Homo-oligomer: A and B are copies of this chain.
């Protein structure tokens, strides 16, 4: 129906997460109809990123500079290091603006099922950063999944040897969570980690 070029655009859009074939066509049509206000800006934005895309050699973040904006930011506390599985997790935590320190991206989590071993992640680089000193606290911010927690456990054992405070994100009821809708695992976690009311 449409030309090869338009079909190519629909297919490229359909490969984005969150866009199926139907929404990719809608998005493509939107771009075609709003050439100046949608297609041109997206083209320009993609080009700008493509030209300068880099993986941060320090923390593993993706950015348009190496080291990334976070690692270069002097206002960030270099004594606090937050370890995350993925760049998406780094972005999520950074959006909250609650963590004042720097990050380390593992590039995944240990998984017997998928055959991901310690040497497949940036664990050696993490240990070198910790060994280099100047870090007071390492926050393990793995996902609250079985594999995430296995990874956190493994990292804890490796980092224990260093003179740093080792912490992990709290587990329990999410804000707004109603007990009636919580799974048993969350309830068990929330009960086990209950805290005294001061």
Spell out A's residues near B (CB within 8 Å): 1-3, 5-6, 8-9, 11-13, 15-19, 23, 25-27, 29-33, 35, 38-50, 52-53, 62-65, 68-70, 87-88, 91, 94-95
B29 near A16: Cβ-Cβ < 8 Å: no
Centre residue among A3, A23, A29, A88 by max chain B CB count within 10 A: A3
B17 near A26: Cβ-Cβ < 8 Å: yes
Contacts A29-B62, A33-B87, A43-B43 given; does A18 touch B23 at CB 8 Å: yes
B3 near A64: Cβ-Cβ < 8 Å: yes
A3 near B38: Cβ-Cβ < 8 Å: no
Q: Provide the residues of chain B in CB contact with A64, threshold 8 Å.
A: 3, 5-6
Contacts A1-B70, A91-B25 given; does A35 touch B53 at CB 8 Å: yes
B48 near A8: Cβ-Cβ < 8 Å: yes
A73 to chain B, nearest CB (A): 10
